[in-house]
Every structure is written in C-alpha cells, then in structure tokens.
Structure 1
Amino acid sequence: MQNLQKYLASEFEMKSLGDLKYFLGIEVARSKHGIFLSQRKYTLDLLAETGMLDCKPIDIPSEQNHKLGLYPDQVPTDKERYQRLVGKLIYLSHTRPDIAYAMSVVSQFMHSRSEDHMGVLMCILRYLKVTPGKGLMFCKYGHTDVEGYTDADWAGSVINKHSTSRYFTFVGGNLVTWRSKKQKVVSRSSAEAEYRGMTQGVCELLWLRRLLRNFGFGPQKPMDLYCDNKAAIAIAHNPVQHDRTKHMEVNRHFVKEKLDAKIISFPFISSEYQLVDVLTKAVSTTVFLNSLDKLGLRYIFAPT
C-alpha cells in the first residue's frame, strides 16, 4: 500500500486520508466484528427533504399481493418529483437490498406514474423511518466460498406477463451482489422462467470467480447455485434435448457446459429457505425479517 501511494504521488498530487469512513453518502464503520456499510445520513436527509421524518413507520416496504400496473383510470402524479425520488432510492439500495424488490417495481413506471405508484414510494419511506441506519455487515467467516441463490416469478408482470429473475451472491459468507431483472421474453412454464434466471445467476458467479482469481485467489471447488425448482435443475443435468427446451437451447448448452466442467453445482433448496423471495415478491413480515438477518443486514444504531 505504501509503494502504491508513493507511485500515485509521483504521478499527481495526492495525500492519504487514512481508513475510509465516508464516501458519496456511504458510511463505513469498522470493529472487531467486521466492516459495516450504511447510508444513515443519506436516509435521514431524504426523509427530511420529503417531509417524512414524522411519518408513521411500517415494518415492510411493500404490501403483499399488490397489483401495481398501468390502468386507464389511474390518476397521474408529478413526473419530476416521482423520478427524482425513485433515483435517490435506487442509490440508497446500494446498501439496502431490503428495498430492492419495491424499487424494481416502482422504477418500471417512470414515464407512466400515478398516485398509486407514488403511494408505494411513500410506503418505502415509511419503512426506512424504522431503521434509517440499517446496512450490510461484512464478517470474517474463515472461508472464501462463492455461492448464489436464484429464483424467478413466473409471469409476474401484470402488464405483459414477463417473468422477473432475481439472484443473490455471497463470497466468504457475505452478500456482495444482488439483482432483479425482467426477462425479455414470455416464459411458457415456471421451469423455463426459473431456468432463464438460473442462467443469469451462473453468469454472475462466473464473473465473481474471474474477479477473485485476478486478486490472486478464487474458489477451489464448484460454486453452489441454490434453486428451489426441481424441473429447472433436472433440465440443467439432462443432456437429452427435449421439445420443451428447444426454444432455450443456447441457455441450456451454456449451463450444461459449466456443470460438466465442475465449475457450478445446483443443489436444491426448499422454498422455505429461499433467500431470494425478498427480491421476487412482497412477503410477510416474518419471512421478510428472517431473510434480512440471513443476508447480513444489521442495525448497529439500535439501542442496547
């Protein structure tokens, strides 16, 4: 590190500010337990700006079984305010995967927003009021295993019946990446939707594997990608071309190639333990809170 600092100082004027504590709204705290990332000040400033500091808090960021979509009788809302608020909440989700699903929903209506869509944004702000300093905890678990969880909601979009793929990836037991992405085509079965999501999860794990090896270390055994759909796992293992998988032949061969090379493995996981559900749909308060604890989200500012 000292040699790097000397080299950079020879190229341009710079100085060392010591350990990172605050950068672009992200706060960094260190202790014997690990490294904690949060955006507490950013969240409080956002609540103050929107006049929600004194709002009534709620336990989850979105309602279960919501049917948010585009309807002919919807009442439009202020475009500039809606888009600005969505943008700020998207930046907040860098350390708050707990609001990632709700943000993936409201960000689909940036150009056709309504009072109902704005109401969901207000629900997210009311949720943030509960724990503005919640963030990600990175601990040392004594290993560098890479694993992921993948899931998809079949025909979840009320607008065009497209499915949405979601995944979480962990390195050394710590959550490092997550994503929620709508699939480009309509899936004709839940197995197909899950398989397309599995392909995206494989790509993410391969990228992490390459990145870690560039740093001088990487996974020495197959990376586990947990899936709760037995049909999708069976398609990944079966080399026989079935009629129902011909239309996704490229994805099937890509996944099978990595499976045969023992780079990836696909253990089955019960839906009860599927962490990605918090990115796939609005779940109950109990499931939501249990999943956040397993994902490594903590609230270190809570009174003891």
Structure 2
Amino acid sequence: MKELGELQYFLGIEVARSKHGIFLSQRKYVLDLLTEIGMLDCKPVDTPIEQNHKLGMYPDQVPTDKERYQRLVGPLIYLSHTRPDIAYDVSMVSQFMHQPSEAHMNGVTRIMRYLKAAPAKGLMFSKHTHINLEGYTDADWAGSITDRRSTFGYFTFVGSNLVTWRSKKQRVVARSSAEAEFRGMAQVLSELLWLRRLLKDLGVKPLKATNLYCDNKAVVEIAHNPNQLADILTKAVSSKVFYDSLDKLGMRDICTNLRGSVSQDKNKT
C-alpha cells in the first residue's frame, strides 16, 4: 500500500474539499460521455424528463438500436451514484433495455441534454451540529402504463446530508395509493434501520428518534390511529382495545341486554 495524499479522483468520482465541506461530482465522467457519443455541443434542457411523460411498452412502437441504447443507459446508471436528480429518469429508461423504442431513445437523449446543462452538479457533505437520521418517501400509484405497477422512491439523510436514495418500480400491483405508499415506507424503514446500526458500529448515536416523512393522507391517518378493527384478528390486544373493537363491530350480549330490560321494567312497576 502507498500513501497518495488526499483523495481527489476515484473511479470517475471527483472529490473536492473546502471550508464548506466535501463535494462529490462526476463532471469529467459526464463530459467524456457526451464527447464519446457526439453530444458535447447539444442543446441543453432544464429537466431530465418531460412532465406527464408516456414512456411505456406499446404494440406499434418503432424499435431502435438495442446495443447502442444499452451502452448509453449503462453509464447513466453509474452516474446516478452522485446524481440523485436523474435517479427517477434513469430508473424509467432502464426498464426498456431489452426492447427499446425510438421514444425510449429520445428519453435517454433528453437526459444527456440535461447533463450538458450542468455537468458539474454533485453532492455537498457539510458539517452540522447533529447526526440525526431522516427519511422521505413517496409513491406514484399505478404510474406504469405497461403493467400498472407503482414507482416508489426515497431519500435518507444523516446529519442533514443526503446519503442514500432510490427510485424503483414495485414488484406487485398495489390496490390503492395507501398500499403503494406503505410498501415504499417499508423499504425506506429497512434502509434507516441499517443506517442506525451502521452508525452504532461506528460509535455514533443519533440524538433523537428517526423521522420518516410521507405526504399520503391515508397513510398518515392510519399511522396516527394504530388501533384498527382488524387488530383482534391478527394479535392479542388489551381488554379495552378488544371490547372497543367489539362495540364498533356492532356485537352485543343479548342476555345482558335482556337482563337490563327486565330490571328497567321491574323498576317501572
């Protein structure tokens, strides 16, 4: 092993240090990629994908060069290691690797044009007064035109610095937006628990509980009301929860009701 000084460049990732923190980017990697595919002088765009796009698999789609498509998407997947701004878009175009169309190639081209607009974008890791964990998650229910599966995504932060992110289509079809959100929350919870254990192994303990943020109203309501009627079908609960559930289900003890009615009649006589 040899001491080479402070890390500056590693596997296409550039590392810059300043009084503000550590900055990671892949500027040279982006420019080399644009040069290689002949798009260094392309016209830039301000977003990596069109709003309300309709990317999917269609029976009448016009095919494109499969090998070239895969050669373009591969570097984009690696580039998304420091570019969360293209994570969703790369996730979309990578779904059509085995049967790409001209529309899919246009989607890849747009990502390249977006990268041309700001090749030096990257991640800044700054020093903060805490090392608390936070997670943000969202899901696009039945967003896939092809199979109606949902896309979920999440960001996790350690000490207000972004450390992990993901955008991926769910494996099953969700029956509601709440189900899609819950599946996404399960994924990010696993990530947050792993980060907590990793920090513990490093001798670092977060100052407070980990917060997970979700904007789905149904999920928030369920989370704030953990006593569900179906709880008594899945677990042992306290007597209060048990009888409260029976009352909401409309269950009554007819003998008790009859005895109460008889007592009232006797009192009247």
User: For the superposition of Structure 1 and Structure 2, which TM-score range results when normalised by the shorter chain?
Assistant: 0.7 to 0.9
Task: Say which of 232, 236, 241 aligns to 2:223.
Answer: 236
State whether residues 130 and 206 of structure 2, in contact with CA within 8 Å, keep that contact through their aligned partners in structure 1: no
- Indicate yes or no: 2:41 matched with 1:54: yes
1:1-304 alignment to 2 at 5 Å? 14-242=1-229
Aligned AA for 2:81? H
Higher CA-based Rg: 2
State whether residues 49 and 110 of structure 2, in contact with CA within 8 Å, keep that contact through their aligned partners in structure 1: yes
Aligned-partner Cα distance in 1 for 2:47–2:188: 26
Aligned-partner Cα distance in 2 for 1:28–1:131: 17
Q: Secondary structure of the equivalent of 1:112?
A: coil
Aligned-partner Cα distance in 2 for 1:200–1:242: 26
Aligned AA for 1:57? P
Aligned-partner Cα distance in 2 for 1:63–1:148: 26
Aligned-partner Cα distance in 2 for 1:84–1:241: 50
User: 1:219-238 CA distances to partner (integer Å, 9 max, x unpaired)?
Assistant: 13210001111211232343
Aligned-partner Cα distance in 2 for 1:185–1:112: 21
Query: By how many angstroms is 1:239 displaced?
Result: 3.4
Aligned AA for 1:84? R
Aligned-partner Cα distance in 2 for 1:201–1:97: 16
For structure 2, the residue ranges without an aligned partner over 5 or more in a row are 235-269
Q: Secondary structure of the equivalent of 2:104?
A: helix
- More relative contact order, 1 or 2 (CA 8 Å, 6+ apart): 1
Q: Secondary structure of the equivalent of 1:100?
A: helix
The match for 1:273 is none
Aligned-partner Cα distance in 1 for 2:218–2:148: 21
TM-score, length-scaled by structure 1: 0.74
Deviates further, 165-174 or 233-242: 233-242
* Identity level (%): 72
Aligned-partner Cα distance in 2 for 1:202–1:169: 10
Q: Secondary structure of the equivalent of 2:167?
A: strand
Aligned-partner Cα distance in 1 for 2:159–2:207: 13
State whether residues 131 and 207 of structure 2, in contact with CA within 8 Å, keep that contact through their aligned partners in structure 1: no
Q: Secondary structure of the equivalent of 1:61?
A: coil
Aligned-partner Cα distance in 2 for 1:122–1:242: 51
Aligned-partner Cα distance in 2 for 1:220–1:237: 23
User: 1:30-82 CA distances to partner (integer Å, 9 max, x unpaired)?
Assistant: 00010000001100000000100111110000000111111111111111111
Q: Size of the alignment, in residue pairs?
A: 233
Aligned AA for 1:130? A
Aligned-partner Cα distance in 2 for 1:188–1:242: 20
Aligned AA for 2:82? T
Aligned-partner Cα distance in 2 for 1:130–1:66: 21
Aligned AA for 2:180? A
The match for 2:237 is none
TM-score, length-scaled by structure 2: 0.83
Q: Secondary structure of the equivalent of 1:187?
A: coil
User: 1:120-167 CA distances to partner (integer Å, 9 max, x unpaired)?
Assistant: 100001011111111101111211011010100010010111111110
Query: By how many angstroms is 1:242 displaced?
Result: 4.9
